[in-house]
Amino acid sequence: MSQTAAPTRRVTQRSARPRTPLPGQSRLRYAVAIRWAFLAPAAAYVLFAFAIPIVYNLVLSFEQTSPATISHLTAPFAGLSNYTTTLKDPVADSAIIRTFSFTVLSLLFQFLIGFTLALLFNLRFPLRRFARSLILVPWLLPLLVTGTIFKFLFQLQAGAVNQILLDVHLIHQPIGFELSPGWAYATVLITNIWIGVPFFTVLLYSALQEVPSELIEAARIDGAGPWQRLTHVTLPVIRPVIEVVFVLGFVFTVKVFDVVIGLTNGGPANSTQLIATWAYNLSFQDFDYGAGAALNTVLLLIALVAAPLYIWLNRQSLRGDSL
């Protein structure tokens, strides 16, 4: 809006002249209006689909909601009771802790596997382009479909994973992956790692491609071994991209929902509930929208931890200049 202030200021400076707007000024005002018109749909959309829901979620979290209050936009004020009851609930507490451990373990393994594959694809071998494009497939599948596929693979009877483990004699009895809390958590974690590896691989691979080969060659001539070249040359050079993949990976992982619902539905006995899935349960299974909103606020705060970092990593794009 501050752009529109410029022409009016010019009018006051020329106070000796007639007050009627000059054709040039109206054209300028028109041009400014056009600029904002280009932005209007996006502004309206961001307001409707992001700003209002976030603010409304905050309002809801302080209200005493019930199925009866759905038909009104507001419900009686409840103070902090949604927060205190939700956060005292052991299921919510363990869902919050689990979301942390799940995020840390996911990112760790996604990075280790993704970086190893990126290094692999950085070598010269036949069909590497073909292999690199195939590797993207897991990342493009609908997440619920992936969850369902892995539910099938991890079945107790006639499950592919159990069959492989039995065939190589690692186990003698099939494992009830869906029945034990520990195994259920592991299956969700493995599935999520499988989903994220292509993303890490592709981004880290394109970063490796940008590392100047003269730099590696110079280190080799100076007597650096492969490990030293990796830790002292390659990793420092691609550090900005590593930061980006970790921040984006964090953002993807804290809000994981579809995979859990498709794979375990939060079970057995709520042992694989994450913040997002438990908030869904509170709102859409128990119809306690206020309690769900309170837990959503917790999720929102955790996700927004990444915001300053994410904006800082994109600081170049905040300026209007060409990248």
By CB under 8 A, the residues from 171 to 200 that bind other proteins are 194, 197-198
**Interface pattern 90-129 for other proteins (x via CB under 8 A):** ---------------------------x--xx-xxxxxx-
DSSP string, 184-234: HHHHHHHHHHHHHHHHHHHHHHHHHHHS-HHHHHHHHHTT--HHHHIIIII
String of contacts with other proteins for each residue 35-74, x by CB under 8 A: xxxxx-xxx-xx-xxx-xxx-xx--x---------xx-x-
Looking at the Cβ atoms of 69 and 81, the one nearer to other proteins is: 69
Instruction: Yes or no: say if 291 and 87 are a contact pair by the CB < 8 Å rule.
Output: no
What is the smallest separation between the CB atom of 120 and other proteins, expressed in angstroms?
6
Stretch that binds other proteins, among 82-90, 175-183, 201-209, 218-226 (CB under 8 A): 201-209
CB of 134 to other proteins, least distance (A): 6
| Number of Cα atoms under 13 Å in the Cβ half of residue 193 | 19
- Give the chain's count of helices (H) and strands (E): 18, 0
* Shortest Å distance, C-beta 9 to other proteins: 14
Nearer CB in complex with other proteins: 22/300: 300
Write out the two tokens for 14. Answer: 């020329």
Identify the CA nearest to 78 among candidates 95, 96, 58, 55. 58
Q: Which two tokens stand for residue 254?
A: 């804290």
Q: Taking CB under 8 A as the criterion, which residues in 229-268 touch other proteins? A: 241, 244-245, 248, 251, 254-255, 257-258, 261-262, 265
The amino acid at residue 323 is L
Determine which residue in the list 22, 144, 211, 242 makes contact with other proteins, applying CB under 8 A. Answer: 144
* Cis upstream peptide for 268 (omega within 30°): yes
Which H or E element spans position 238? Answer: helix 235-254
Distance of closest approach, residue 154 Cβ to other proteins, in angstroms: 11
DSSP for residue 178? T
How many residues lie near other proteins (CB under 8 A)? 108
Q: What number of residues does the chain have?
A: 323
Measured CA to CA, the distance from residue 110 to residue 87 in angstroms comes to 30
Least distance to other proteins, CB of residue 93, Å:
18
Q: What distance in Å separates the CA atoms of residue 218 and residue 214, rounded to the nearest whole number?
A: 6
**Binding of other proteins at residue 133 (CB under 8 A)?**
yes
Of residues 268 through 287, those in contact with other proteins by CB under 8 A are: 276, 279-280, 283-284
Q: In this complex, which beta carbon is closest to other proteins, that of residue 62 or of residue 280?
A: 280
Min separation Cβ 236 and other proteins, Å = 17
Nearer to other proteins, 3 or 26 (CB): 3
Q: What is the C-alpha separation between 99 and 297, in angstroms, rounded?
A: 14
Torsion angle of the four alpha carbons 150, 154, 156, 159, in this order, in degrees rounded to the nearest 10: 90
Q: At closest approach, how far in Å is the CB of 243 from other proteins?
A: 10
